[in-house]
Structure 1
């Protein structure tokens, strides 16, 4: 009986031992899985130094030589495609080491290129190193001043891309110059080619728009301005031309109003004085342009008569000067300059004027003899007088109807 109980007790103890052994195995497997998950988490977080510590601690704790990672099929395929090796603790360790080496070399290259002022290449190297090892000490301890140089270059290049996208070529050209100063290896040929080409084509459209504006071709003007705006919206020349066109439109409209007002007032002299303004403004209004031409021709006739009178005054021929002005004054009695000149000449040719006016008054009263005498007297004062000669001819025909004199 005692033997049976002893045997039974031994069997129970063996069962407990086996159960504990199984538990240990399960706990060991669970610990491995959790540890491997932690290693993978560090690796995916790019905390490569943590990965190295974890992998080496893993080997020290689990000495059974089983370093195979217990991962799903997708993760396994990812590792095999990226590294060409099966996912193991050793693979993770070597990849972390490689990443650390790449980051350190990237930072060293950045510092070297920064000293050479080759900021474009330096910024690329730093970006590559940062992408791989954001938490690596070489990245974390890099001086902020050096980081800001790369940030400045990246900011300006992004701003350049945006400026070209929105076709702000003035800003883009300024940024290209700035980048060329801070980065010796910056290639400005491509952005400058795009900038110069767009600016030249825009200026060509503006030139065509100016010609169209001068010709009054509004359809072409609008089309060329639209094309120039699409190519270079912030072109200073475009803004200047648009401003001039708007100002010209306002000036033109005001000139038309002024012309109509002066014409209604019969102030032809003022129209003549401002002819340069009216000629351009009325070019698009044929009916008004015709009236302007008539006014200018008439005033030009007056000016010729005044010039002829001035020449006679220089010759002390005041009666002739007065008569020259008087002839035109009868056609254009409202011209102020003509009226003033006639008034100025009248005192200098008083005898001739008085005699001629007396002759004309007597002719109107049908006093033929007296009128003829005064006309002859006036012709004696100024033998070349057309007024006196015509008066004599009229009266002679009255006295002797068949006379040719």
Structure 2
């Protein structure tokens, strides 16, 4: 009886301290000494409390990821109140500390990458940066712009790759060249360019000549070069636009043709010289 009394006292202490992990062991001890002890009901309540504490920890994690610090703190407080010794609470607290240290390092890293225009590197770490910058509206907006920028770039790269695979390397080259104007340093775009370049060597050379001639002011020669490029790639929007632009420029700059001018009739009262009759 003394052992039973001691086990019951210890079980009561564990319950008062919400030491749920050790309750089951003492419930089983008491059951062994008193078969009519309502251990099943106690264990059911203990399991419910453990589950409630774990659910509160999960809620705290979700709130923390969403950047809702107040909600995370409230959920963590509930979890601790239900089960102070819950190992998930300690684990989450350690994760929060580690995460804060990591996030503190992400902000200067993001600023450095922006200053160095490393858009692809930022895109590859977008999830990490999104968490770190959740409370920073200005940086979050910049991150959104970078993600959209690289998303559009990747769409153009994919478009060029599909065109090349469909035996349309000239159109693929047009997409690559146009995209390179705004993203000249992207390595994936550069790789795609090097893959397509051997397929369009004549076309690329002709366009290069046309662009140089136009830059140097030789519009007529540039127009001829663009027409040659269009012969290689009739569906090229770039060639069509260049030809239209240069043709309009040449038309505006051409000297007006001399038109015959009718003689001015003599004013009234002026003497009119009549040739003598022969």
TM superposition score normalised by structure 2: 0.79
In the alignment, does 2:169 pair up with 1:323?
Answer: no
In the alignment, does 2:36 pair up with 1:178?
Answer: no
The structure having more radius of gyration, on CA atoms, is 1
1:192: how far off? 4.4
In the alignment, does 2:210 pair up with 1:343?
Answer: no
Using the alignment, how far apart are the partners of 1:271 and 1:282 within structure 2?
A: 13
Structure-1 residue corresponding to 2:225: 374
Indicate if the aligned counterparts of 1:259 and 1:271 stay in contact, CA closer than 8 A: yes
Superposition map of 1:119-198 within 5 A: 123=1, 150-151=2-3, 153-188=4-39, 192=43, 195=46, 198=49
In the alignment, does 2:120 pair up with 1:269?
Answer: yes
Using the alignment, how far apart are the partners of 1:398 and 1:279 within structure 2?
A: 49
Report which stretch shifted further, 354-363 or 160-169. 160-169
1:383 to 202, 227, 234: 234
Gaps of 5+ in 1: 1-122, 124-149
Query: Runs of 4 or more off by more than 6 Å in structure 1?
Result: none
Using the alignment, how far apart are the partners of 2:45 and 2:153 within structure 1?
A: 61
1:155: how far off? 3.8
Using the alignment, how far apart are the partners of 1:294 and 1:188 within structure 2?
A: 60
Using the alignment, how far apart are the partners of 1:202 and 1:343 within structure 2?
A: 57
Structure-2 residue corresponding to 1:228: 79
Structure-1 residue corresponding to 2:161: 310
Q: 1:372 to 1:191 in 2, by over 3 A?
A: closer
Give the RMSD, CA atoms, in angstroms: 2.7
Q: 1:299 to 1:354 in 2, by over 3 A?
A: same
In the alignment, does 2:89 pair up with 1:238?
Answer: yes
1:251: how far off? 4.0
Indicate if the aligned counterparts of 1:266 and 1:334 stay in contact, CA closer than 8 A: no
User: Which structure would you say has the larger RCO, counting Cα contacts within 8 Å and 6 or more residues apart?
Assistant: 2
Point out the structure with the larger helix share: 1
Give CA-to-partner distance per residue, 1:235-269, whole Å, 9 cap, x none: 13323333343344344334434333322221111
Q: 1:278 to 1:176 in 2, by over 3 A?
A: same
Q: 1:313 to 1:205 in 2, by over 3 A?
A: closer
Superposition map of 1:191-206 within 5 A: 192=43, 195=46, 198-199=49-50, 202-203=53-54, 205-206=56-57
Q: 1:368 to 1:280 in 2, by over 3 A?
A: same
1:200: how far off? 5.4
Q: 1:334 to 1:154 in 2, by over 3 A?
A: same
Q: 1:391 to 1:198 in 2, by over 3 A?
A: closer
Gaps of 5+ in 2: 255-278
1:376: how far off? 0.8
How many equivalent pairs are there? 254
Using the alignment, how far apart are the partners of 2:15 and 2:145 within structure 1?
A: 55
Structure-1 residue corresponding to 2:267: none
1:176: how far off? 0.9
Using the alignment, how far apart are the partners of 1:188 and 1:166 within structure 2?
A: 18
1:196: how far off? 5.1
Structure-1 residue corresponding to 2:246: 395
